[in-house]
C-alpha cells in the first residue's frame, strides 16, 4: 500500500499541473493499481472535481474524459452505437464490476502497462490523447513516450466508420492476459495490435487481410510466468484468425 503526506482535490487543471511538477507528487486516478505499490507520495492529486468523467459526442468524435471509468465505457450507449460490442469486449475480463467501477481510462492509458487491455484496444482505433500541456497527439505516439509530468485529460475516438473487434487469452477469466489482440478495418486498411507480449501494445497495418496471420508471427514476443514466447507466438496466430472471422461476421 502506498503512503501520501498530502491529499489535494484539484480545483483546476492549472493547479493540478503545478502540484504535479514535483517528482514526489502523483495523480490518483481510480487508485486501483496505485494501491498495489509501496510508493511514498508527497502530494496525491485528485482530478475528480474537474469534470473529466464524461463521455461526450462532438460531431465526428467521441471524447472520453480521463476520469471515465472502465464500467462507464462498458455500458455506454454512445460507444455501443458507434462501435458495437468492442468497448464492452475490451474491458469485460478486467477483474470484476466493482474494480471497473473504480478504474479510470486515464489511469489505464497513462500508466502504459504492458498487460493493458485498454491500450491494446484503443490502439486499433483512430485515437488521439489530449494532454493539459502538449495538446493532442496520436495515442500510438503517446504510448512510446516516457512518462512525464504532463496530465492526460481525455482520449478522443473518431467516428469514421471503422469496425473493430477485441480478443484476449487468459489462464483464468479475470487474470491478467497472456496475450491481447485487437483488429480494425476501414476501407482498404487493416490494423492489427498485440499487447501483453508481455511488452506494451504495438500495431501493424496492411492492405491485405490475407497477410494478417503472417504479420502476427513477426511481432516480438517474450516469456513470463503466464506464458512462454512460443506459446504467445502460437496464440497470436489463433487470436488473429478469431478476430478476422469475428470482424467479417460483424461486417456482413
pLDDT at 30: 86
pLDDT in tens, the chain (252 residues): 778 899 999 999 999 999 999 999 999 988 877 766 678 889 999 999 999 999 999 889 999 999 999 999 999 999 999 999 999 999 999 999 999 999 999 999 999 999 999 999 999 998 999 999 999 999 999 999 988 999 999 999 999 999 999 999 999 988 899 999 999 999 999 999 999 999 999 999 999 999 999 999 999 999 999 999 999 999 999 999 999 999 999 887
The rounded distance, in Å, linking the Cα atoms of 214 and 216 is 5
pLDDT at 137: 97
Phi, psi of 75 (to 5 degrees): -105, 5
Burial of 250 (0-12, 13-18, 19+ CB in 10 A): middle
Looking at the DSSP bridge assignments, the partners of residue 203 are: 193
pLDDT at 119: 96
* C-alpha 173: how far from chain center: 18
pLDDT at 37: 67
pLDDT at 105: 97
CATH of 51-158, one of 3.30.210.10, 3.30.465.10, 3.90.1150.10, 3.20.190.10: 3.30.465.10
The x, y and z cell numbers of residue 234, run together, are 502460437
Q: Are strands 26-27 and 40-46 parallel, antiparallel or unpaired?
A: parallel
Same fold, 51-158 and 163-251: no
- Which DSSP symbol is given to 131? E
Longest alpha-carbon distance in the chain: 56
At a CB cut-off of 8 Å and minimum separation 6, what does 139 contact? Answer: 109, 119, 122, 123, 127, 128, 129, 155
Kindly list the domain boundaries of the chain, sorted by start residue. 3-49, 51-158, 163-251
At a CB cut-off of 8 Å and minimum separation 6, what does 35 contact? Answer: 1, 2
pLDDT at 173: 85
What would the CATH number be for the domain defined by 163-251? 3.30.390.50
Give the predicted TM-score (pTM) of the model.
Answer: 0.93
Tens of pLDDT, residue by residue over 164-173, are: 999 999 999 8
Amino acid at each position: 500500500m502506498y503512503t501520501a503526506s498530502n491529499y489535494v482535490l484539484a480545483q483546476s487543471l492549472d493547479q493540478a499541473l503545478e502540484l504535479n511538477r514535483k517528482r514526489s507528487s502523483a495523480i490518483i486516478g481510480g487508485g486501483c493499481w496505485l494501491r498495489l505499490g509501496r510508493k511514498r507520495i508527497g502530494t496525491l492529486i485528485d482530478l475528480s472535481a474537474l469534470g473529466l468523467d464524461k463521455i461526450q459526442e462532438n460531431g465526428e468524435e467521441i471524447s472520453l474524459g480521463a476520469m471515465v471509468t472502465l464500467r462507464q465505457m462498458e455500458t455506454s450507449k454512445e460507444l455501443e452505437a458507434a462501435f458495437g460490442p468492442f468497448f464492452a469486449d475490451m474491458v469485460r475480463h478486467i477483474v470484476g464490476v466493482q474494480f471497473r467501477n473504480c478504474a479510470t481510462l486515464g489511469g489505464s492509458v497513462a500508466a502504459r502497462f504492458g498487460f493493458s487491455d485498454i491500450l491494446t484496444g484503443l490502439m486499433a482505433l483512430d485515437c488521439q490523447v489530449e494532454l493539459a500541456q502538449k495538446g493532442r497527439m496520436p495515442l500510438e505516439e503517446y504510448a512510446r513516450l516516457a512518462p512525464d509530468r504532463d496530465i492526460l485529460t481525455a482520449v478522443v475516438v473518431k467516428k469514421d466508420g471503422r469496425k473493430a473487434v477485441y480478443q484476449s487469452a487468459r489462464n483464468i477469466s479475470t487474470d491478467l492476459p497472456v496475450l491481447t489482440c485487437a483488429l480494425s478495418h476501414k476501407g482498404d486498411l487493416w490494423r492489427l495490435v498485440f499487447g501483453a507480449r508481455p511488452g506494451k501494445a504495438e500495431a501493424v497495418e496492411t492492405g491485405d487481410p490475407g497477410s494478417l496471420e503472417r504479420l502476427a508471427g513477426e511481432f516480438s514476443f517474450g516469456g513470463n510466468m503466464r506464458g512462454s514466447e512460443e506459446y504467445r507466438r502460437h496464440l497470436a496466430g489463433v487470436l488473429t484468425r478469431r478476430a478476422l472471422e469475428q470482424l467479417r461476421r460483424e461486417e456482413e
